Structure 1
Protein backbone atom coordinates (compact mmCIF):
# COMPACT_ATOMS: atom_id res chain seq x y z
CA UNK A 1 0.00 0.00 0.00
CA UNK A 2 2.77 2.45 0.91
CA UNK A 3 4.30 1.97 -2.54
CA UNK A 4 1.62 4.37 -3.78
CA UNK A 5 3.17 7.04 -1.59
CA UNK A 6 6.47 6.82 -3.49
CA UNK A 7 4.64 7.02 -6.83
CA UNK A 8 2.64 10.00 -5.59
CA UNK A 9 5.76 11.83 -4.37
CA UNK A 10 7.41 11.35 -7.77
CA UNK A 11 4.24 12.66 -9.43
CA UNK A 12 4.23 15.82 -7.27
CA UNK A 13 7.90 16.40 -8.01
CA UNK A 14 7.21 16.08 -11.75
CA UNK A 15 4.60 18.84 -11.37
CA UNK A 16 7.29 21.03 -9.74
CA UNK A 17 5.32 21.46 -6.55
CA UNK A 18 7.20 23.27 -3.80
CA UNK A 19 9.14 21.13 -1.27
CA UNK A 20 6.76 22.31 1.45
CA UNK A 21 3.68 21.25 -0.54
CA UNK A 22 5.18 17.87 -1.38
CA UNK A 23 6.13 17.25 2.23
CA UNK A 24 2.66 18.13 3.53
CA UNK A 25 0.81 16.14 0.86
CA UNK A 26 2.97 13.10 1.59
CA UNK A 27 2.46 13.38 5.34
CA UNK A 28 -1.31 13.50 4.83
CA UNK A 29 -1.23 10.62 2.35
CA UNK A 30 0.91 8.43 4.59
CA UNK A 31 -1.52 9.04 7.44
CA UNK A 32 -4.41 7.88 5.23
CA UNK A 33 -2.59 4.76 4.01
CA UNK A 34 -1.54 3.85 7.55
CA UNK A 35 -5.18 4.16 8.63
CA UNK A 36 -6.19 1.68 5.92
CA UNK A 37 -3.46 -0.80 6.88
CA UNK A 38 -4.07 -0.53 10.61
CA UNK A 39 -7.77 -1.27 10.17
CA UNK A 40 -7.25 -4.01 7.54
CA UNK A 41 -9.35 -2.18 4.97
CA UNK A 42 -9.42 -2.55 1.19
CA UNK A 43 -9.01 0.72 -0.63
CA UNK A 44 -10.60 -0.12 -3.98
CA UNK A 45 -13.42 -2.43 -2.86
CA UNK A 46 -14.44 -0.47 0.24
CA UNK A 47 -13.58 3.11 -0.73
CA UNK A 48 -16.90 4.72 0.29
CA UNK A 49 -16.94 3.15 3.74
CA UNK A 50 -13.20 3.77 4.14
CA UNK A 51 -13.71 7.49 3.53
CA UNK A 52 -16.66 7.70 5.93
CA UNK A 53 -14.59 6.10 8.67
CA UNK A 54 -11.50 8.13 7.90
CA UNK A 55 -13.41 11.42 7.98
CA UNK A 56 -14.78 10.47 11.38
CA UNK A 57 -11.22 9.73 12.49
CA UNK A 58 -10.02 13.13 11.22
CA UNK A 59 -12.86 14.97 12.95
CA UNK A 60 -11.82 13.33 16.22
CA UNK A 61 -8.11 14.04 15.77
CA UNK A 62 -8.37 17.56 14.31
CA UNK A 63 -10.87 19.77 16.09
CA UNK A 64 -9.91 22.86 14.09
CA UNK A 65 -12.04 22.97 10.95
CA UNK A 66 -9.22 24.46 8.88
CA UNK A 67 -6.91 21.54 9.75
CA UNK A 68 -9.64 19.01 8.98
CA UNK A 69 -10.44 20.65 5.64
CA UNK A 70 -6.78 20.73 4.65
CA UNK A 71 -6.51 16.98 5.31
CA UNK A 72 -9.63 16.30 3.23
CA UNK A 73 -8.39 18.49 0.37
CA UNK A 74 -5.03 16.71 0.42
CA UNK A 75 -6.76 13.32 0.39
CA UNK A 76 -8.90 14.32 -2.58
CA UNK A 77 -5.78 15.22 -4.54
CA UNK A 78 -4.23 11.82 -3.78
CA UNK A 79 -7.39 9.95 -4.76
CA UNK A 80 -7.54 11.85 -8.06
CA UNK A 81 -3.98 10.67 -8.67
CA UNK A 82 -5.10 7.06 -8.06
CA UNK A 83 -8.14 7.46 -10.31
CA UNK A 84 -6.04 8.80 -13.19
CA UNK A 85 -4.02 5.57 -12.98
CA UNK A 86 -7.10 3.30 -12.75
CA UNK A 87 -6.16 2.17 -9.25
CA UNK A 88 -9.62 3.26 -8.09
CA UNK A 89 -12.69 3.69 -10.26
CA UNK A 90 -13.91 7.06 -9.07
CA UNK A 91 -13.40 9.76 -6.49
CA UNK A 92 -16.60 9.98 -4.39
CA UNK A 93 -16.93 13.76 -4.06
CA UNK A 94 -19.88 13.49 -1.67
CA UNK A 95 -17.72 11.63 0.82
CA UNK A 96 -15.00 14.30 0.56
CA UNK A 97 -17.03 17.40 1.34
CA UNK A 98 -15.26 19.85 3.59
CA UNK A 99 -16.85 21.18 6.75
CA UNK A 100 -18.10 24.74 6.65
CA UNK A 101 -15.50 27.07 8.09
CA UNK A 102 -16.82 29.68 10.47
CA UNK A 103 -15.55 33.06 9.42
CA UNK A 104 -13.86 34.82 12.30
CA UNK A 105 -13.07 38.48 12.63
CA UNK A 106 -9.50 39.44 11.78
CA UNK A 107 -7.73 41.84 14.13
CA UNK A 108 -4.93 43.79 12.45
CA UNK A 109 -2.49 45.18 14.99
CA UNK A 110 -2.79 48.80 16.02
CA UNK A 111 0.27 50.94 15.38
CA UNK A 112 1.05 50.86 19.10
CA UNK A 113 1.03 47.08 19.19
CA UNK A 114 2.95 46.84 15.94
CA UNK A 115 5.65 49.05 17.43
CA UNK A 116 5.77 46.77 20.49
CA UNK A 117 6.19 43.72 18.28
CA UNK A 118 8.98 45.24 16.22
CA UNK A 119 10.84 46.44 19.30
CA UNK A 120 11.19 42.98 20.93
CA UNK A 121 14.17 41.67 18.97
CA UNK A 122 15.49 45.15 18.26
CA UNK A 123 15.89 45.72 22.00
CA UNK A 124 17.43 42.27 22.41
CA UNK A 125 19.97 43.09 19.72
CA UNK A 126 20.88 46.37 21.40
CA UNK A 127 21.29 44.74 24.83
CA UNK A 128 23.13 41.51 23.99
CA UNK A 129 26.92 41.68 24.02
CA UNK A 130 27.59 38.10 22.87
CA UNK A 131 28.23 38.23 19.11
CA UNK A 132 26.35 35.05 18.14
CA UNK A 133 23.28 35.73 20.28
CA UNK A 134 23.32 39.32 19.12
CA UNK A 135 23.36 38.12 15.50
CA UNK A 136 20.36 35.86 16.18
CA UNK A 137 18.45 38.80 17.64
CA UNK A 138 19.35 40.94 14.60
CA UNK A 139 18.29 38.19 12.20
CA UNK A 140 14.95 37.76 14.00
CA UNK A 141 14.36 41.51 14.04
CA UNK A 142 15.04 41.75 10.31
CA UNK A 143 12.72 38.80 9.60
CA UNK A 144 9.97 40.47 11.62
CA UNK A 145 10.59 43.82 9.93
CA UNK A 146 10.48 42.24 6.46
CA UNK A 147 7.13 40.59 7.18
CA UNK A 148 5.71 43.82 8.60
CA UNK A 149 6.93 46.04 5.76
CA UNK A 150 6.42 43.72 2.78
CA UNK A 151 3.52 41.59 4.01
CA UNK A 152 5.26 38.34 3.07
CA UNK A 153 4.15 34.84 4.00
CA UNK A 154 6.59 32.74 6.07
CA UNK A 155 7.27 30.43 3.10
CA UNK A 156 8.23 33.49 1.04
CA UNK A 157 10.53 34.73 3.79
CA UNK A 158 12.51 31.50 4.18
CA UNK A 159 13.07 31.37 0.42
CA UNK A 160 14.49 34.91 0.19
CA UNK A 161 17.94 35.14 -1.42
CA UNK A 162 20.47 37.94 -1.69
CA UNK A 163 20.48 37.67 -5.49
CA UNK A 164 16.77 38.53 -5.46
CA UNK A 165 17.64 42.08 -4.33
CA UNK A 166 18.54 44.68 -6.94
CA UNK A 167 18.98 48.32 -5.95
CA UNK A 168 15.94 49.11 -3.81
CA UNK A 169 13.73 46.24 -4.97
CA UNK A 170 13.36 42.55 -4.20
CA UNK A 171 11.83 39.82 -6.32
CA UNK A 172 9.52 37.42 -4.48
CA UNK A 173 9.78 34.21 -6.47
CA UNK A 174 7.23 31.42 -6.13
CA UNK A 175 6.67 28.34 -8.27
CA UNK A 176 4.10 29.99 -10.53
CA UNK A 177 4.65 33.69 -9.96
CA UNK A 178 7.22 36.44 -9.52
CA UNK A 179 6.46 39.85 -8.08
CA UNK A 180 8.74 42.82 -7.43
CA UNK A 181 8.45 44.84 -4.21
CA UNK A 182 10.12 48.10 -3.21
CA UNK A 183 12.34 48.22 -0.14
CA UNK A 184 12.47 51.28 2.10
CA UNK A 185 15.81 52.96 2.73
CA UNK A 186 15.55 51.98 6.40
CA UNK A 187 14.96 48.31 5.61
CA UNK A 188 17.83 48.28 3.10
CA UNK A 189 20.13 49.67 5.79
CA UNK A 190 19.07 46.99 8.29
CA UNK A 191 19.57 44.24 5.72
CA UNK A 192 23.02 45.57 4.91
CA UNK A 193 23.93 45.57 8.61
CA UNK A 194 22.57 42.03 8.95
CA UNK A 195 24.59 40.89 5.92
CA UNK A 196 27.79 42.32 7.38
CA UNK A 197 27.14 40.77 10.79
CA UNK A 198 26.41 37.44 9.11
CA UNK A 199 29.87 37.48 7.49
CA UNK A 200 31.38 37.72 10.98
CA UNK A 201 29.50 34.60 12.15
CA UNK A 202 29.61 32.64 8.89
CA UNK A 203 32.94 33.18 7.09
CA UNK A 204 31.76 31.12 4.11
CA UNK A 205 28.33 32.75 3.84
CA UNK A 206 29.20 34.23 0.43
CA UNK A 207 28.83 30.69 -0.90
CA UNK A 208 25.22 30.56 0.34
CA UNK A 209 22.58 32.70 -1.36
CA UNK A 210 19.83 32.24 1.23
CA UNK A 211 19.42 35.31 3.43
CA UNK A 212 18.18 33.80 6.69
CA UNK A 213 20.58 31.16 7.99
CA UNK A 214 20.29 28.80 10.92
CA UNK A 215 22.90 27.99 13.56
CA UNK A 216 24.28 24.87 15.24
CA UNK A 217 23.68 21.80 13.11
CA UNK A 218 21.71 24.00 10.66
CA UNK A 219 24.67 26.25 9.97
CA UNK A 220 24.76 27.55 6.38
CA UNK A 221 21.25 26.18 5.87
CA UNK A 222 18.16 28.40 5.52
CA UNK A 223 15.76 28.68 8.42
CA UNK A 224 12.37 27.01 8.16
CA UNK A 225 8.80 28.19 8.67
CA UNK A 226 9.01 26.52 12.08
CA UNK A 227 11.80 28.94 12.99
CA UNK A 228 9.56 31.88 12.12
CA UNK A 229 6.76 30.35 14.18
CA UNK A 230 9.11 30.18 17.19
CA UNK A 231 10.18 33.79 16.62
CA UNK A 232 6.57 34.91 16.98
CA UNK A 233 5.99 32.66 19.98
CA UNK A 234 8.83 34.48 21.73
CA UNK A 235 7.45 37.86 20.70
CA UNK A 236 4.00 36.88 22.01
CA UNK A 237 5.43 36.03 25.43
CA UNK A 238 7.35 39.30 25.56
CA UNK A 239 4.46 41.60 24.60
CA UNK A 240 1.69 39.75 26.44
CA UNK A 241 -0.62 39.10 23.49
CA UNK A 242 -0.64 36.57 20.67
CA UNK A 243 1.24 37.63 17.56
CA UNK A 244 1.67 35.67 14.32
CA UNK A 245 3.26 36.36 10.97
CA UNK A 246 -0.26 36.43 9.52
CA UNK A 247 -1.25 39.20 11.95
CA UNK A 248 1.63 41.34 10.64
CA UNK A 249 0.62 40.56 7.07
CA UNK A 250 -2.94 41.71 7.75
CA UNK A 251 -1.65 44.82 9.50
CA UNK A 252 0.29 45.63 6.34
CA UNK A 253 -2.96 45.37 4.37
CA UNK A 254 -4.78 47.62 6.82
CA UNK A 255 -2.05 50.24 6.72
CA UNK A 256 -2.15 50.35 2.92
CA UNK A 257 -5.89 50.92 2.69
CA UNK A 258 -7.33 54.41 2.37
CA UNK A 259 -10.50 55.99 0.97
CA UNK A 260 -9.72 54.61 -2.48
CA UNK A 261 -10.28 51.06 -1.29
CA UNK A 262 -11.10 49.59 -4.70
CA UNK A 263 -8.02 51.10 -6.32
CA UNK A 264 -5.82 49.96 -3.42
CA UNK A 265 -7.18 46.39 -3.48
CA UNK A 266 -6.42 46.13 -7.19
CA UNK A 267 -2.78 46.82 -6.37
CA UNK A 268 -2.57 45.00 -3.04
CA UNK A 269 -3.78 41.57 -4.06
CA UNK A 270 -0.97 41.38 -6.62
CA UNK A 271 1.60 42.94 -4.31
CA UNK A 272 0.80 40.48 -1.50
CA UNK A 273 0.67 37.40 -3.70
CA UNK A 274 -3.04 36.56 -3.53
CA UNK A 275 -4.29 34.45 -6.41
CA UNK A 276 -7.52 36.45 -6.74
CA UNK A 277 -8.70 39.87 -5.64
CA UNK A 278 -11.79 38.24 -4.12
CA UNK A 279 -9.67 36.42 -1.52
CA UNK A 280 -8.22 39.72 -0.29
CA UNK A 281 -11.65 41.39 -0.30
CA UNK A 282 -12.99 38.56 1.89
CA UNK A 283 -10.13 39.06 4.38
CA UNK A 284 -10.65 42.83 4.51
CA UNK A 285 -14.39 42.37 5.15
CA UNK A 286 -13.47 40.47 8.32
CA UNK A 287 -11.14 43.16 9.68
CA UNK A 288 -11.96 44.69 13.05
CA UNK A 289 -10.02 47.52 14.62
CA UNK A 290 -8.18 47.40 17.92
CA UNK A 291 -8.16 50.43 20.13
Structure 2
Protein backbone atom coordinates (compact mmCIF):
# COMPACT_ATOMS: atom_id res chain seq x y z
CA UNK A 1 0.00 0.00 0.00
CA UNK A 2 2.85 2.41 0.79
CA UNK A 3 4.21 2.03 -2.73
CA UNK A 4 0.76 2.57 -4.26
CA UNK A 5 0.18 5.66 -2.10
CA UNK A 6 3.58 7.05 -3.08
CA UNK A 7 2.82 6.61 -6.77
CA UNK A 8 -0.63 8.13 -6.22
CA UNK A 9 0.89 11.22 -4.63
CA UNK A 10 3.31 11.54 -7.55
CA UNK A 11 0.36 11.18 -9.93
CA UNK A 12 -1.51 13.98 -8.14
CA UNK A 13 1.50 16.28 -8.13
CA UNK A 14 1.90 15.83 -11.88
CA UNK A 15 -1.73 16.84 -12.39
CA UNK A 16 -3.07 20.38 -12.26
CA UNK A 17 -4.33 20.03 -8.68
CA UNK A 18 -3.18 22.52 -6.04
CA UNK A 19 -0.83 21.57 -3.20
CA UNK A 20 -3.70 21.83 -0.72
CA UNK A 21 -5.85 19.48 -2.79
CA UNK A 22 -3.01 16.98 -3.11
CA UNK A 23 -2.49 17.08 0.67
CA UNK A 24 -6.22 16.60 1.34
CA UNK A 25 -6.51 13.67 -1.11
CA UNK A 26 -3.45 11.89 0.26
CA UNK A 27 -4.58 12.40 3.86
CA UNK A 28 -8.07 11.05 3.08
CA UNK A 29 -6.64 7.92 1.46
CA UNK A 30 -4.12 7.44 4.26
CA UNK A 31 -6.99 7.41 6.78
CA UNK A 32 -8.98 5.06 4.52
CA UNK A 33 -5.98 2.73 4.41
CA UNK A 34 -5.76 2.81 8.22
CA UNK A 35 -9.41 1.72 8.35
CA UNK A 36 -8.58 -1.21 6.04
CA UNK A 37 -5.41 -2.12 7.91
CA UNK A 38 -7.19 -2.14 11.28
CA UNK A 39 -9.67 -4.63 9.84
CA UNK A 40 -6.99 -6.63 7.99
CA UNK A 41 -8.53 -5.89 4.59
CA UNK A 42 -6.22 -5.84 1.57
CA UNK A 43 -6.66 -2.77 -0.62
CA UNK A 44 -6.93 -4.74 -3.85
CA UNK A 45 -9.67 -6.90 -2.29
CA UNK A 46 -11.95 -3.95 -1.50
CA UNK A 47 -15.34 -3.49 -3.15
CA UNK A 48 -18.57 -1.48 -2.88
CA UNK A 49 -19.39 -3.10 0.46
CA UNK A 50 -16.01 -2.13 1.93
CA UNK A 51 -16.44 1.50 0.93
CA UNK A 52 -20.02 1.55 2.25
CA UNK A 53 -18.76 0.20 5.58
CA UNK A 54 -16.14 2.96 5.67
CA UNK A 55 -18.76 5.63 4.99
CA UNK A 56 -20.91 4.21 7.81
CA UNK A 57 -17.82 4.32 10.04
CA UNK A 58 -17.31 8.00 9.19
CA UNK A 59 -20.95 8.74 10.02
CA UNK A 60 -20.60 7.00 13.39
CA UNK A 61 -17.42 9.00 14.05
CA UNK A 62 -19.49 12.17 13.70
CA UNK A 63 -18.03 13.39 10.41
CA UNK A 64 -20.12 16.08 8.77
CA UNK A 65 -21.90 15.42 5.49
CA UNK A 66 -19.66 18.02 3.89
CA UNK A 67 -16.55 16.10 5.00
CA UNK A 68 -17.95 12.74 3.89
CA UNK A 69 -18.73 14.13 0.44
CA UNK A 70 -15.15 15.37 0.14
CA UNK A 71 -13.76 12.01 1.28
CA UNK A 72 -15.92 10.17 -1.27
CA UNK A 73 -14.46 12.37 -4.01
CA UNK A 74 -10.97 11.47 -2.75
CA UNK A 75 -11.78 7.75 -2.76
CA UNK A 76 -13.29 7.89 -6.26
CA UNK A 77 -10.21 9.70 -7.53
CA UNK A 78 -7.93 7.12 -5.89
CA UNK A 79 -9.75 4.15 -7.43
CA UNK A 80 -9.66 5.97 -10.77
CA UNK A 81 -5.89 6.16 -10.44
CA UNK A 82 -5.69 2.45 -9.62
CA UNK A 83 -7.73 1.59 -12.70
CA UNK A 84 -5.48 3.73 -14.90
CA UNK A 85 -2.52 1.93 -13.35
CA UNK A 86 -4.13 -1.46 -14.17
CA UNK A 87 -4.25 -2.38 -10.48
CA UNK A 88 -8.02 -2.95 -10.64
CA UNK A 89 -10.42 -3.67 -13.48
CA UNK A 90 -13.40 -1.60 -12.37
CA UNK A 91 -13.99 1.37 -10.06
CA UNK A 92 -16.30 0.29 -7.20
CA UNK A 93 -19.68 1.99 -7.23
CA UNK A 94 -20.20 4.30 -4.27
CA UNK A 95 -23.80 4.74 -3.15
CA UNK A 96 -24.22 7.56 -0.67
CA UNK A 97 -27.32 9.73 -0.67
CA UNK A 98 -26.82 13.23 0.63
CA UNK A 99 -29.50 15.31 2.25
CA UNK A 100 -30.15 18.93 1.47
CA UNK A 101 -28.84 20.24 4.75
CA UNK A 102 -28.19 23.92 5.08
CA UNK A 103 -24.46 24.54 5.04
CA UNK A 104 -23.37 25.82 8.43
CA UNK A 105 -20.32 28.06 8.52
CA UNK A 106 -18.88 28.64 11.99
CA UNK A 107 -18.73 32.16 13.36
CA UNK A 108 -15.19 33.53 13.32
CA UNK A 109 -14.03 36.24 15.69
CA UNK A 110 -11.82 38.99 14.32
CA UNK A 111 -8.45 39.74 15.88
CA UNK A 112 -9.97 42.92 17.33
CA UNK A 113 -12.82 40.94 18.92
CA UNK A 114 -10.36 38.47 20.44
CA UNK A 115 -8.42 41.42 21.89
CA UNK A 116 -11.62 42.92 23.32
CA UNK A 117 -12.54 39.67 25.05
CA UNK A 118 -9.10 39.11 26.57
CA UNK A 119 -8.52 42.75 27.52
CA UNK A 120 -11.81 42.98 29.40
CA UNK A 121 -10.58 40.39 31.92
CA UNK A 122 -9.48 42.06 35.14
CA UNK A 123 -6.28 40.94 36.82
CA UNK A 124 -7.37 41.95 40.31
CA UNK A 125 -8.31 38.44 41.49
CA UNK A 126 -7.06 34.88 41.19
CA UNK A 127 -10.08 34.04 39.05
CA UNK A 128 -9.38 36.92 36.67
CA UNK A 129 -5.70 35.99 36.42
CA UNK A 130 -6.63 32.38 35.65
CA UNK A 131 -9.29 33.37 33.12
CA UNK A 132 -6.90 35.63 31.22
CA UNK A 133 -4.29 32.86 31.04
CA UNK A 134 -6.97 30.40 29.89
CA UNK A 135 -8.23 32.65 27.09
CA UNK A 136 -4.70 33.54 26.00
CA UNK A 137 -3.72 29.88 25.73
CA UNK A 138 -6.97 28.99 23.93
CA UNK A 139 -6.24 31.52 21.23
CA UNK A 140 -2.46 30.98 21.18
CA UNK A 141 -2.73 27.22 20.60
CA UNK A 142 -6.11 26.51 19.02
CA UNK A 143 -6.43 23.48 21.28
CA UNK A 144 -9.77 21.78 21.77
CA UNK A 145 -11.32 22.35 25.18
CA UNK A 146 -10.79 18.69 26.15
CA UNK A 147 -7.09 19.11 25.38
CA UNK A 148 -6.91 22.41 27.22
CA UNK A 149 -8.51 21.09 30.41
CA UNK A 150 -6.23 18.03 30.31
CA UNK A 151 -3.07 20.16 30.01
CA UNK A 152 -0.68 19.39 32.88
CA UNK A 153 2.03 21.51 34.47
CA UNK A 154 4.71 19.25 33.02
CA UNK A 155 3.34 19.93 29.52
CA UNK A 156 4.39 23.59 29.58
CA UNK A 157 7.88 24.77 28.67
CA UNK A 158 8.14 28.48 29.47
CA UNK A 159 11.76 28.83 28.39
CA UNK A 160 11.16 27.52 24.87
CA UNK A 161 7.57 28.84 24.73
CA UNK A 162 5.63 25.75 23.77
CA UNK A 163 3.08 23.33 25.19
CA UNK A 164 2.94 19.58 24.70
CA UNK A 165 -0.66 18.75 23.75
CA UNK A 166 -2.13 15.23 23.91
CA UNK A 167 -5.36 14.52 22.02
CA UNK A 168 -8.03 11.92 22.77
CA UNK A 169 -6.10 9.30 20.79
CA UNK A 170 -3.01 9.82 22.94
CA UNK A 171 -1.17 11.48 20.06
CA UNK A 172 1.16 14.26 21.15
CA UNK A 173 1.99 17.45 19.29
CA UNK A 174 4.12 20.44 20.25
CA UNK A 175 2.44 23.82 19.87
CA UNK A 176 4.35 27.10 20.19
CA UNK A 177 2.81 29.87 22.29
CA UNK A 178 3.34 33.59 21.84
CA UNK A 179 4.67 36.14 24.30
CA UNK A 180 1.20 37.26 25.43
CA UNK A 181 0.23 33.72 26.45
CA UNK A 182 3.59 33.12 28.13
CA UNK A 183 3.27 36.33 30.13
CA UNK A 184 -0.29 35.50 31.24
CA UNK A 185 0.74 31.95 32.19
CA UNK A 186 3.67 33.19 34.28
CA UNK A 187 1.39 35.53 36.23
CA UNK A 188 -1.20 32.80 36.72
CA UNK A 189 1.21 30.04 37.74
CA UNK A 190 2.77 32.36 40.32
CA UNK A 191 -0.68 32.69 41.94
CA UNK A 192 -1.97 29.19 41.20
CA UNK A 193 -0.54 27.60 44.34
CA UNK A 194 -2.93 29.67 46.43
CA UNK A 195 -5.87 27.58 45.15
CA UNK A 196 -4.04 24.33 44.37
CA UNK A 197 -4.06 22.94 47.88
CA UNK A 198 -5.10 19.55 46.50
CA UNK A 199 -1.86 19.41 44.46
CA UNK A 200 -3.69 18.99 41.16
CA UNK A 201 -1.35 18.22 38.23
CA UNK A 202 -3.57 20.15 35.84
CA UNK A 203 -2.74 23.69 34.72
CA UNK A 204 -6.23 25.12 34.79
CA UNK A 205 -8.14 24.47 38.01
CA UNK A 206 -11.29 25.86 39.57
CA UNK A 207 -11.38 27.84 42.79
CA UNK A 208 -11.74 24.59 44.75
CA UNK A 209 -8.42 23.36 43.42
CA UNK A 210 -9.91 20.75 41.11
CA UNK A 211 -9.49 20.28 37.36
CA UNK A 212 -11.47 22.85 35.38
CA UNK A 213 -14.36 21.20 33.53
CA UNK A 214 -15.67 21.73 30.01
CA UNK A 215 -18.74 23.42 31.49
CA UNK A 216 -16.49 25.66 33.55
CA UNK A 217 -14.58 26.76 30.46
CA UNK A 218 -17.86 27.45 28.65
CA UNK A 219 -19.08 29.69 31.46
CA UNK A 220 -15.82 31.64 31.32
CA UNK A 221 -15.93 32.08 27.53
CA UNK A 222 -19.62 33.00 27.50
CA UNK A 223 -19.26 35.50 30.35
CA UNK A 224 -16.41 37.48 28.81
CA UNK A 225 -17.91 37.43 25.33
CA UNK A 226 -21.09 38.96 26.74
CA UNK A 227 -19.14 41.55 28.71
CA UNK A 228 -17.12 42.42 25.58
CA UNK A 229 -20.34 42.99 23.64
CA UNK A 230 -19.76 40.17 21.14
CA UNK A 231 -22.99 39.66 19.21
CA UNK A 232 -21.79 36.63 17.23
CA UNK A 233 -22.79 33.09 18.11
CA UNK A 234 -19.86 31.81 20.16
CA UNK A 235 -19.23 28.23 21.27
CA UNK A 236 -16.31 26.26 22.66
CA UNK A 237 -14.80 25.81 19.18
CA UNK A 238 -14.94 29.49 18.23
CA UNK A 239 -11.43 30.31 19.46
CA UNK A 240 -10.09 27.21 17.69
CA UNK A 241 -11.71 28.10 14.36
CA UNK A 242 -10.66 31.74 14.69
CA UNK A 243 -7.09 30.67 15.40
CA UNK A 244 -6.97 28.57 12.21
CA UNK A 245 -8.54 31.24 9.99
CA UNK A 246 -6.23 33.96 11.32
CA UNK A 247 -3.19 31.78 10.61
CA UNK A 248 -4.32 31.10 7.04
CA UNK A 249 -5.21 34.76 6.48
CA UNK A 250 -1.66 35.68 7.41
CA UNK A 251 -0.09 33.23 5.00
CA UNK A 252 0.44 30.13 7.14
CA UNK A 253 1.05 26.93 5.21
CA UNK A 254 -1.85 24.48 5.31
CA UNK A 255 0.46 21.69 6.46
CA UNK A 256 1.63 23.83 9.37
CA UNK A 257 -1.97 24.53 10.39
CA UNK A 258 -2.75 20.83 10.19
CA UNK A 259 0.16 20.00 12.49
CA UNK A 260 -0.87 22.65 15.00
CA UNK A 261 -4.52 21.62 15.16
CA UNK A 262 -4.21 17.92 14.40
CA UNK A 263 -5.71 15.95 11.50
CA UNK A 264 -9.22 17.18 12.30
CA UNK A 265 -8.41 20.50 10.65
CA UNK A 266 -8.97 18.95 7.20
CA UNK A 267 -12.62 18.52 8.13
CA UNK A 268 -12.98 22.30 8.18
CA UNK A 269 -10.28 23.34 5.70
CA UNK A 270 -12.67 23.99 2.83
CA UNK A 271 -14.88 26.00 5.19
CA UNK A 272 -11.91 28.04 6.42
CA UNK A 273 -10.98 28.95 2.86
CA UNK A 274 -14.58 29.76 2.06
CA UNK A 275 -14.62 32.23 4.97
CA UNK A 276 -11.32 33.77 3.86
CA UNK A 277 -12.43 34.09 0.23
CA UNK A 278 -15.73 35.63 1.34
CA UNK A 279 -13.85 38.24 3.40
CA UNK A 280 -11.60 39.02 0.45
CA UNK A 281 -14.58 39.45 -1.86
CA UNK A 282 -16.19 41.85 0.62
CA UNK A 283 -13.00 43.92 0.81
CA UNK A 284 -12.65 44.00 -2.98
CA UNK A 285 -16.31 44.98 -3.35
CA UNK A 286 -16.04 47.82 -0.83
CA UNK A 287 -12.88 49.11 -2.46
CA UNK A 288 -14.09 48.77 -6.02
CA UNK A 289 -17.84 49.36 -6.21
CA UNK A 290 -18.70 53.03 -6.79
CA UNK A 291 -21.69 52.89 -4.44
CA UNK A 292 -20.34 50.48 -1.84
Question: Residue 153 of structure 2 corresponds to which residue in structure 1?
Answer: 162
Which of 233, 241, 246 is residue 255 of structure 1 equivalent to? 246
Question: Residue 236 of structure 1 corresponds to which residue in structure 2?
Answer: 225
Question: Residue 208 of structure 1 corresponds to which residue in structure 2?
Answer: 200
Q: Deviations over 1:242-276 (max 9, x none)?
A: 43332221221122114756xx111111211233x
The alignment partner of 2:187 has SS state of helix
Q: Which runs of 5+ in 2 are unaligned?
A: 1-58, 63-96, 284-292
- Segment of structure 1 superposing worse, 142-151 or 243-252: 243-252
Tell me by how many angstroms 1:98 deviates: 9.2
On the 8 A contact 1:265/1:280 being kept in 2, the answer is no
> Is 1:136 aligned to residue 127 of structure 2?
yes
Query: What is the TM-score normalised by the length of structure 1?
Result: 0.55
On the 8 A contact 1:269/1:280 being kept in 2, the answer is no
1:278–1:237: structure 2 CA closer, same or farther, 3 Å change rule?
closer
The alignment partner of 2:163 has SS state of strand
Q: Distance between the aligned counterparts of 2:164 and 2:119, measured in 1?
A: 26
Query: What is the TM-score normalised by the length of structure 2?
Result: 0.55
Q: Which of the two has greater helix per residue? A: 1
Question: Residue 144 of structure 2 corresponds to which residue in structure 1?
Answer: 153
The alignment partner of 1:269 has SS state of helix
Question: Residue 175 of structure 1 corresponds to which residue in structure 2?
Answer: 168
Q: Distance between the aligned counterparts of 1:280 and 1:260, measured in 2?
A: 17
> Is 1:111 aligned to residue 111 of structure 2?
yes
Q: Deviations over 1:54-79 (max 9, x none)?
A: xxxxxxxxxxxxxxxxxx9489xxxx
1:118–1:102: structure 2 CA closer, same or farther, 3 Å change rule?
same
Number of corresponding residues: 184
Q: Distance between the aligned counterparts of 1:260 and 1:186, measured in 2?
A: 21
Q: Which runs of 5+ in 1 are unaligned?
A: 1-71, 76-96, 129-133
